[in-house]
Amino acid sequence: MLMLIVSVTVIASCKEKPAATVRTASEVNGNGPAYGDALVAGTIGEASILIPMLAGDSASHDVSGLIFNGLVKYDTDLSVIGDLAESWDISNDGLVITFHLRKGVKWADGVEFTSEDVMFGYRTIIDEKTPTAYSEDFRQVKKAETPDKYTFRVTYEKPFAPALTSWGNLVVLPKHLLEGKDITKTEFGRNPVGLGPYKLDKWISGQEVILDSYKDYFEGRPYIDRYIYKIIPDAATMFLVLQTGEIDMMGLTPIQYAKQTNTDFFKRNFQKFRYPAFAYTYMAFNLKHPFFQDKRVRQAIAYGIDKGEIVDVVLFGLGSPATGPYVPNTWPYNPAVKKYEYNPEEAKKFLKEAGWEDTDGDGILDKNGRPFKFTILTNMANTLRMNTATIIQWRLAKIGIKVEIRVLEWSTFINQFIDKRRFEAAVLGWSIGLDSDQYDIWHSSKTKEKEFNFVSYNNPEVDELLERGRRTFDIEERKRAYFRLQEILADELPYIFLYVPDATPIVHARFKGIKASPIGISYNLPKWYVPKGLQQHTMEP
Amino acid sequence: MSTYLIKRLLEMIPTLFGITLLSFVIIHLAPGKPTDIFTELNPKITPEARERLEKLYDLDKPIIVQYGLWLKKIVKLDFGESFSSDRRPVMQRIWDSKKPLLERRLFVTFMINLISLVIILLIAIPVGVSSATRRNSLYDKITTTTVFIGFAMPHFWLALLLMIFFGVYLHWLPISGLKSMNYDSLPVWGKIWDLARHLALPIFVSAFGGLAADSRYMRSSMLEVIRQDYVRVARAKGLSEREVIYRHAFRNALLPMITLMGLSVPGLIGGSVIFENIFGIPGMGQLFYMSVMTRDYPMVMGILTIGAILTLLGNLLADLGYMLADPRIRAT
């Protein structure tokens, strides 16, 4: 805190003194946190709307995430901590959650934030007329109340563990500005008033979104005065723009991280980060297909694929082999499941047990006269997945399985093949939510068209575990359920879990205070700063 | 003349109707829906939520009913609202009259295309004429090769090379966007200079690629004219070569250029996707591409309809231009 006061004084005094003195002052005092400067982040996609509950794209969520806060948020170790809620109580039966809100938090227009704003957001999100995709978690709520200005209470039919974290920034909206208005028709979506660390200054379609720091932010004024999203739709261009200094931050591709940013120029001017992304890539089997109904065949294929090789070749080592649907080093991740180290002999043995042998000597296994040939589908414009499929094709050829690869445009791929179950195997990826509930992906009731258990996986024990995991708030009990879930999945292999890629952002070296964590780097953005002597963009008054 | 004009304009109506109907059916045939961006492989979305969304966008109705709804609005010149999540009116996304000119997509694309069209004509016409009069000379071969290199070279590749050279290596030119961060604080000439620096590469790339067609048209049209009897007569009268070419041949050789100009009218508002993406230029090409990828039907239909109207008008203008310029056509 002392440091902070010192820097403020420096800023204040700078204004009156001649430039030369400023320089000395900043050199003396140049390393501590200081207000000022702007961070320019490159982004491929442009935000479409800045009301979180209406936004479907990640660009919109990125920007609106800086403008709106939620009642709760994730800490760096994935535990849930208070944000606008100071604390909360969960009743013993897990049905009632009572949030105690912070007092004195103000919207950017000066009006105080109260429980009425949460109530308003909740009512809006469950309104039939609101075109939101996120209402389901809130439809589980039986009753919502605001006993007083700073208390918000919800009652559920059944205990529902993901419920707590659903009270993030989707449902906090300024009632005093939006009440009685059609949320789809107001200018609010392009000109929002929030209470987060940044507020919208200017949004120029197709060019940039400029955010100014909110000086009265309840956790303290962010150090960096401006946060600018510069829209650069082409990935190759973005990397060039990074080198000209027009942007300060972007996500690197594996090849850029591993091969193209090791020069002195990059080492001098940039800092690179690396942490597992909340996503994994997998090969899914259509479990209705006769080839893949036998567990031994799926296990054989797992033995026949070298995951480490895929990580090394496709990701230049920037990732880790996946063993299940969770990210390593997070609480639900079970490190002790069956791993299937690459072992072609074991693979052949399993296939033989399952009745697959090369009887006609053409190099391809067969059974009852049918050769073991199948097609892997994947989507266009994702080179990582295409390369992965190619390596799998090559490896499986060595154990006598002939694989074709078919690359499809995304909409066709999903609508015509995955949704209609017209596939044998597919290489795809999931981004996983921070909550560990994966009911929709593995539960046997979720196999209808357009639902997400598209491999038609059906295991009563798994169903039971998924139920148990989402019906309790006790983290130890959830952990037990999800550990067991991973053991079963690793044994039965409805998917072959291939890899968890690393997120690899790069940020200009003048930004200090960035600490990579399991949830990324941007969680403490308001605390990033540029020491006075290194600041580049000065603000006009 | 005026009956001709009215007849032509009336003929445009059924054509336009046919174009919109075809476009509407075709974009709806493409797999996927506007709601996919929310719902596709997103485990948080239940089928009920998806149905609710589809209903909100009238996507549950038969396609012909959807077309009827769209048509009902369009006859009142209402292009409807975009399906993108901010639900802004289609026209506002194309031409937002509340924003400065440089923030209106249509203006940006129009400006760039117009400048590059003017540059193309200024270079292509002299090049075409001079290479026709010096047919098969070394000069002809060099210019031909050069314009074809420009035509054949992939735009994105040339663009990236120039960006690396002028932006990253020499640090002379900015490589993305339309203006610098401090644009608003610049004086007027500073703004123009800033804009010019940002537009130099995009305009160069688009003009270089467009040279081939126009200069080759000009060359062949010139060659044809030179062979005509009246040129021979002019020569026989003893006029200087200069006068023969520029007073007699050139004016006639320009006639096909009227068609070419007519055809380039719709092109003025249709930006190139690749090119706008690479240079980060917020124009119509980007908007159209994004709209197609997200199956934003009203947006796609809006842009297609405007394009169709401009194409038809361009053709009409070309015909009228001919009538004005060429007495032989007026007579028939």
pTM above 0.80, yes or no: yes
Look at residue A195 and tell me whether its pLDDT is greater than 70: yes
SS3 sequence of B194-259: HHHHHHHHHHHHHHHHHHHHHHHHHHHHHHHHHCCHHHHHHHHCCCCHHHHHHHHHHHHHCHHHHH
Distance CA A513, CA A213 (A): 17
User: Given A204, A244, A430, which is nearest B175 (Cβ)?
Assistant: A244
From A155-164, B231-240, B256-265, the region with the lowest mean pLDDT: B256-265
Residue A79: its pLDDT value, please?
Answer: 85
Q: What is the pLDDT of residue B83?
A: 85
Residue A411 with chain B: CB contacts under 8 Å: 30-32, 36, 295
Q: Which two tokens stand for residue B223?
A: 């060659």
Q: Which of B163, B125, B139, B160 is nearest to B255 (CA)?
A: B125
What band does A116 get if pLDDT is binned at 50, 70 and 90? very high
**What whole-number distance in Å separates Cα of residue B221 and Cα of residue B228?**
11
The answer to whether A243 faces chain B, any CB pair under 8 Å, is yes
Who among B39, B93, B171 is closest to A133 (CB)? B39
Name the 3-class secondary structure at A501: strand
For residue B322, pLDDT beyond 90: no
Residue where the block lists tokens 């920034």 = A169
Among the partner residues B32, B52, B167, nearest to A411 by beta-carbon distance:
B32
Name the residue type at position B75. Answer: V
DSSP-derived secondary structure letter, B155: H
Q: What is the pLDDT of residue A214?
A: 96
Please state, in angstroms and as integers, the Cα–Cα distance from residue A106 to each residue in A103, A117, A146, A176, A214, following that order: 9, 11, 18, 12, 10
Nearest Cα residue in chain B from A231: B280
Tokens linked to A506: 């790069």
Q: Beta strand pairing status for A249-251 and A373-379? A: unpaired
A433–B43 CB contact, under 8 Å = yes
Is 60 exceeded by the pLDDT of residue A22? no
- Residues of chain A neighbouring B160 (CB-CB closer than 8 A): 236-237, 240
Residue range B32-57: mean pLDDT, rounded: 74
Q: What is the pLDDT of residues B93-145, one digit of tens each?
A: 888 888 888 888 989 999 999 999 999 999 999 999 999 999 899 999 999 99
Q: Where are the beta strands (DSSP E) in A174-317?
A: 198-204, 208-213, 226-231, 249-251, 270-272, 275-276, 279-285
C-beta atoms of B85 and A244 within 8 A? no
pLDDT bin (cut points 50, 70, 90) of residue A477 is: very high
B residues 140-169 lying closer than 8 A (beta carbon) to A: 160, 163-164, 167-168
How high does pLDDT run on average in chain A?
A: 89
Residue of B nearest to A38 (CA): B181
The reply to whether A337 touches chain B by the CB within 8 Å rule is no
For A249, phi then psi, to 5°, come to: -150, 140
Most confident residue range from A23-37, A146-160, B87-101 = A146-160
Give tens-digit pLDDT for A266-275.
Answer: 999 999 999 9
Angstrom distance (rounded) from CA A522 to CA A527:
10
A233–B87 CB contact, under 8 Å: no
Question: Chain B residue with minimal CA distance to A242?
Answer: B168
